[in-house]
């Protein structure tokens, strides 16, 4: 794992062996770029790269690719999340090229939450490709310099390719095997679903190490602070693929009022970060705090993962210049 694929900041941090921190940004419901910068500013100083979701939960927001382009313009390092839910292979290939041209260097290839879980279940689901096919297609474009049809590209998209893994959803025995498929398809890094069950994750990583996958791919563990019992209950019942053990919810409940619950949620998250950090084969954490970006900074700081000097350049007080960084 020494050869540079894209030379992105995230890739350089991972290859240098430093513990990486990425954070999730949910794009805005606005046509104003300032709203994007505002949301990113909190995250940028505490992470190496910012993941931009692609209509997560099938709720539409500003497009992932446009949000990423704005982040690049402001000097930030985005990870473009790309799902198979809304676009067929023709659109996806065009977006991969366009993303690279806009200066986006990291792409996370996902299947995508189904349209039925969002607020526009009337929509047509696409799923022309699945996430593994999307990954392989992106790798063919990058490494072979051709479209799926074989038509050559003049300039290849230099992309650091990522994939997701959910060790916390059945079929548990198949999850490491599916990870292996993703590595074979072309994944350079992995970001997992939110981890609230460290024991389960430990077992998963043991299998991953047995297969030697940790030496072929960088694995970032998904973590996130729970705001309250109510939000924990919402997430475990309504957000696809999130598993929160009863003990965690119980801990939050015992904490007391809203303020104490919020503190306890943060404490749980910090503890989980410290535990997974010690698991061999873990290259970093991916912090997801839906609509509470400010909490990410607190979590990263309290987990002792600061300073991240090498991370993002902090833009000045003035609005970022429109010329590409």
| Interacting residues toward another protein by CB under 8 A | 84, 89, 111-114, 116-117, 125, 127-133, 136-137, 139-140, 143-144, 146-150, 164-166, 169-171, 173-174, 177-178, 180-181, 184-186, 193, 240-241, 243
CB of residue 122 vs another protein: minimum separation in angstroms? 15
User: Cβ closer to another protein: 62 or 137?
Assistant: 137
CB of residue 245 vs another protein: minimum separation in angstroms? 10
Alpha helices in 16-88 (DSSP H): 33-44, 64-73
Question: How many other C-beta atoms can be found within 10 angstroms of the C-beta atom of residue 167?
Answer: 25
The answer to whether the Cα torsion of 205, 209, 212, 217 is positive or negative is positive
Tokens representing 160 are 């650091």
CB of residue 171 vs another protein: minimum separation in angstroms? 5
User: Cβ closer to another protein: 174 or 247?
Assistant: 174
309/264 Cα distance (integer angstroms): 28
CB of residue 303 vs another protein: minimum separation in angstroms? 24
User: Cβ closer to another protein: 11 or 113?
Assistant: 113
CB of residue 112 vs another protein: minimum separation in angstroms? 8
Question: Residue 26: is it exposed, middle or buried by C-beta count within 10 angstroms (0-12/13-18/19+)?
Answer: buried
User: Cβ closer to another protein: 78 or 176?
Assistant: 176
Helix (H, G, I), strand (E, B) or coil at 47: coil
14/22 Cα distance (integer angstroms): 11
User: Cβ closer to another protein: 89 or 203?
Assistant: 89
Q: Where are the beta strands (DSSP E) in 123-229?
A: 160-165, 189-194, 218-223
22/143 Cα distance (integer angstroms): 25
Q: Under a CB-based contact definition with an 8 Å cutoff, are residues 99 and 68 in contact?
A: yes
CB of residue 140 vs another protein: minimum separation in angstroms? 5
User: Cβ closer to another protein: 103 or 118?
Assistant: 118
User: Cβ closer to another protein: 117 or 325?
Assistant: 117
CA distances from residue 62 to 38, 43, 75, 206 in whole angstroms, order as listed: 14, 18, 19, 39
Q: What is the largest CA-CA distance in the chain?
A: 62
CB of residue 240 vs another protein: minimum separation in angstroms? 3
Closest CA to 269 of 239, 231, 238, 240: 231
Closest CA to 153 of 161, 166, 143, 163: 143
CB of residue 89 vs another protein: minimum separation in angstroms? 6
User: Cβ closer to another protein: 19 or 127?
Assistant: 127
Q: Under a CB-based contact definition with an 8 Å cutoff, are residues 15 and 283 in contact?
A: no
User: Cβ closer to another protein: 75 or 118?
Assistant: 118
CB of residue 134 vs another protein: minimum separation in angstroms? 9
Question: Residue 312: is it exposed, middle or buried by C-beta count within 10 angstroms (0-12/13-18/19+)?
Answer: buried
């Amino acid at each position: 794992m020494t050869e540079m694929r894209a030379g992105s900041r995230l890739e350089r941090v991972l290859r240098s062996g430093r513990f990486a921190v990425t954070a999730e940004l949910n794009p805005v419901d606005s046509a104003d770029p300032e709203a994007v910068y505002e949301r990113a500013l909190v995250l940028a100083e505490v992470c190496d790269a910012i993941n931009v979701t692609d209509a997560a939960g099938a709720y539409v927001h500003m497009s992932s690719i446009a949000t990423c382009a704005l982040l690049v313009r402001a000097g930030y390092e985005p990870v473009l999340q790309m799902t198979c839910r809304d676009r067929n292979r023709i659109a996806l290939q065009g977006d991969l090229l366009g993303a690279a041209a806009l200066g986006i260097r990291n792409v996370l290839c996902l299947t995508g939450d189904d349209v039925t879980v969002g607020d526009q279940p009337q929509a047509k689901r696409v799923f022309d490709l699945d996430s593994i096919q999307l990954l392989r297609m992106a790798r063919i474009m990058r490494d072979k310099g051709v479209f799926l049809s074989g038509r050559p590209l003049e300039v290849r998209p230099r992309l650091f390719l990522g994939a997701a893994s959910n060790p916390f959803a059945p079929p548990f025995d198949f999850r490491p095997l599916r990870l292996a498929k993703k590595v074979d398809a072309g994944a350079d890094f992995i970001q997992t679903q939110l981890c609230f069950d460290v024991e389960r994750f430990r077992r998963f990583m043991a299998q991953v190490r047995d297969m030697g996958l940790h030496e072929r791919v960088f694995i970032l563990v998904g973590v996130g602070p729970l705001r309250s019992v109510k939000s924990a209950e919402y997430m475990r019942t309504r957000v696809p693929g999130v598993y929160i053990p009863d003990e965690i919810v119980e801990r939050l409940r015992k904490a007391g009022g809203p303020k104490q619950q919020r503190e306890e949620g943060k404490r749980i998250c910090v503890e989980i970060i410290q535990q997974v950090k010690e698991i061999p084969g873990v290259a970093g954490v991916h912090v997801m705090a839906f609509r509470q970006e400010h909490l990410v900074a607190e979590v990263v700081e309290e987990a002792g993962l600061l300073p991240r000097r090498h991370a993002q350049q902090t833009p000045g007080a003035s609005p970022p210049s429109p010329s590409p960084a």
